[in-house]
Amino acid sequence: MLSTATGTPAPAEATWRPKQPPLTTPWTDQVGPGNALPEYPRPQLTRQRWMNLNGLWDYAGGGEQPRTTRERILVPYPPESALSGIQRHDDHMLYRRTFDVPRDWAGQRVLLHFGAVDQKATVSVNGRRVAEHEGGYTAFSADITDALRPGSPQRLEVAVTDRNDENPYPVGKQRNEPGGILYTGSSGIWQTVWLEPVPAAHIDAVDITPDAAAGAFSLTARTTGTTGERVEAVVTDRDGREVSRAGGPADRPLRLPVDRPHLWTPDDPYLYDVAVRLVDARGRTVDRVGSYAGMRSIALVRDAQGRPRMALNGRVVFQHGPLDQGFWPDGSYTAPTDAALRSDLEQTKRLGFNMVRKHVKVEPARWYYWADRLGLLVWQDMPSLPIDLAEAPGSNPPPSAAAREHYRDELVAMIDQLRSSPSVVVWVPFNEGWGEFDTVRVAELVHRADPTRLVDPSSGVNCCYSLPDSGAGDLYDDHTYVGPGRPPVEGRRASVDGEYGGLGLALDGHLWPGRPQAYEMTHSREELTRRYAEVSDDLAGIVRDTGLSAAVYTQTTDVENEVNGFLTYDRRVLKPDPEVVAAHNRAVIDAGTP
């Protein structure tokens, strides 16, 4: 078990209490200062000792950078959320707290980690600047050892600027003025903040790439402070039996062959445990971390009719799942609890799907951990740059040079952050042309950053604000509402319905303030279930006739005024009959899986 040490919040005159959200979830009342996301936040690089800094912090926000904190906020819930206790947007934010370094950390380096802070963050410890970070979706860390003061509480300060869609950063569907398919923004700290002690020479990351055809893992331990230390890695199966061992220089790939490997699939999401040690010339352990890995491949193949299809582990498997937005009525961008985060994926499995498209958002590491564990293929979108969707297609100016630079930087960082997750099989750089630019070059950039996965360069290339089809990438992606779409399957790329559906049902008592919207509105559970069955039957016929490779239904949950989810926004009602939905989803998968 991983142990946690508790930091001491800074004193403040203000008190904290949660605000009342327009809708509560089953987990809203479980959240408080003593249990704000207490789980270990980085499942693919684990250590035994760490300190969670989630909880109450001093806070101030406004139109200018504040200097004095007069409120309290519950981290890591964004200020716009009810769970934060603030429930408003501030362009500029100031977070402060103190913590004590445990005595048994003496002689170690101390690392400070942030899961994500939106958009620009400057971090100081005891008045000394230790980190600056731009971009709201990727993790960052700082070695704060030299800023610590022995024998006294340590003062931590995070100054943040986030003007949401008015700044040239990827924002996904966040907006200062939400409405329709655009939602309330989330600013500031919105993922776990934590500390860990490490030796001077230590492991920073473990990159694991499966080679299912060869039955081997490639593992690279990225390190800091090494002076000739070696890496030793051991792979064990679920029963704890060693199945592979290798050693070699740090920061170099190790090959770990596995005899008769157990392949990872959505029906059997088998994961191996991985232990990695950094050892010195005398064989003494300098640092050790834990991880896990799944053996699987993703590629394009030709089916019996010569059509390009998506194949998992060398076999054509139809990929079917919902569009997953990742918004919460109580926590905004942040799920109230880890159980809530897991629950959406469990419901996706219950509905018979084998895939999920994470739509223009990057989730905390634990979301991908649950996708890996539960067995869902993940299509990972890059959060889009802001555009004005009220303007007609073609009227938005191209992204500025600064926006393009921020986009490329965060795209590569996202890929690097998620590269070891076996569930992630497709990267989606652009959606419906939102902030699209240099499509061919961006697709090539993604392929260079990760040649082991497929690239869907322009989801919804047939519609909306998309630039003309560039022919780049591995997939041709059609969006048709209600649909399903019937794109041709030809050439070298597989064809997919990247979005379809959008059948709505508004349920009193489970609605966000405002007018409910959907692509097609139904008026009862029975009508919604019947229409879903009809659309699914049409989809199954298209799959059989054309060789379509995948389909993404809109969507997992209602989001604010959109009511086309399987679940209400508060996650309290599963709207259609789940048995009927699951049966039709399995029939579609079977239709496309020879």
Mean pLDDT to the nearest integer, 228-247: 97
Res 276 pLDDT > 70:
yes
CB atoms within 10 A of CB 206: 22
Res 1 pLDDT > 50:
no
Provide the Cα torsion 123, 129, 130, 134; round to 10°: 50
Reduce the DSSP state of residue 265 to 3 states and report it: coil
What is residue 29's DSSP assignment?
G
Res 10 pLDDT > 90:
no
Instruction: Please state the pTM of the whole predicted model.
Output: 0.96
Q: Which residues contact 49 (CB under 8 A, 6 or more apart)?
A: 3, 5, 102, 104, 105, 196, 197
d(CA 8, CA 99): 5
- Sort 305 into a burial class: Cβ within 10 Å, 0-12 / 13-18 / 19+: exposed
Q: What is the pLDDT of residues 472-522, one digit of tens each?
A: 999 999 999 999 999 999 999 999 999 999 999 999 999 999 999 999 999
In angstroms, how far is CA 139 from the centroid of its own chain? 11
Span 213-293: which CATH code?
A: 2.60.40.10
* CA dihedral over 62, 67, 71, 77, signed as positive or negative: positive
SS3 content of the chain, % helix, strand, coil (to 5): 15, 35, 50
d(CA 342, CA 324): 13
Band of the pLDDT at 151, cuts 50, 70, 90?
confident
The closest alpha carbon to 445, from 459, 429, 469, belongs to 429
Band of the pLDDT at 409, cuts 50, 70, 90?
very high
Given this model, what pLDDT does residue 424 score? 98
Percentage of the chain lying above the pLDDT 70 cut: 98
Res 150 pLDDT > 80:
yes
Give the helix/strand (H/E) hosting 234: strand 230-236
d(CA 451, CA 213): 15
d(CA 95, CA 68): 10
Domain 5-197, CATH among 3.30.230.10, 3.60.15.10, 3.30.930.10, 2.60.120.260 = 2.60.120.260
The torsion region of residue 159 among left (phi > 0), alpha (psi -120 to 50) and beta comes to: beta
Strand partners, 234: 245, 275
d(CA 181, CA 560): 9
Q: 10 vs 116, which has greater pLDDT? A: 116
The residue length of the chain stands at: 594
Determine how β-strand 5-6 pairs with β-strand 51-52: parallel
Band of the pLDDT at 237, cuts 50, 70, 90?
very high
Would you state the structure tokens that stand for residue 256, as one six-digit string? 């770990």
Q: What is the pLDDT of residues 93-137, one digit of tens each?
A: 999 999 999 999 999 999 999 999 999 999 999 999 999 999 999
For 7, list phi and psi in degrees, rounded to 5: -80, 165
Q: What is the pLDDT of residues 155-189, one digit of tens each?
A: 999 999 999 999 999 999 999 999 999 999 999 99
Give the helix/strand (H/E) hosting 540: helix 525-546
d(CA 426, CA 443): 12
d(CA 385, CA 119): 13
Average pLDDT, the chain: 96
Res 421 pLDDT > 50:
yes
Given this model, what pLDDT does residue 346 score? 98
Res 5 pLDDT > 90:
no
d(CA 138, CA 415): 10
* CA dihedral over 75, 81, 82, 86, signed as positive or negative: positive
- Which part of the chain has CATH 2.60.120.260? 5-197
Q: How many CA atoms lie within 13 A of 263 on its CB side?
A: 15
Given this model, what pLDDT does residue 383 score? 98
Band of the pLDDT at 14, cuts 50, 70, 90?
low
Given this model, what pLDDT does residue 559 score? 98
Determine how β-strand 494-501 pairs with β-strand 475-479: parallel
**Residue keyed to tokens 């912090």:** 57
In angstroms, how far is CA 297 from the centroid of its own chain? 20
For 476, list phi and psi in degrees, rounded to 5: -100, 125
- Which part of the chain has CATH 2.60.40.10? 213-293
Provide the Cα torsion 258, 264, 270, 275; round to 10°: 50
CB atoms within 10 A of CB 209: 17
Q: What is the pLDDT of residues 285-338, one digit of tens each?
A: 999 999 999 999 999 999 999 999 999 999 999 999 999 999 999 999 999 999
Given this model, what pLDDT does residue 509 score? 97
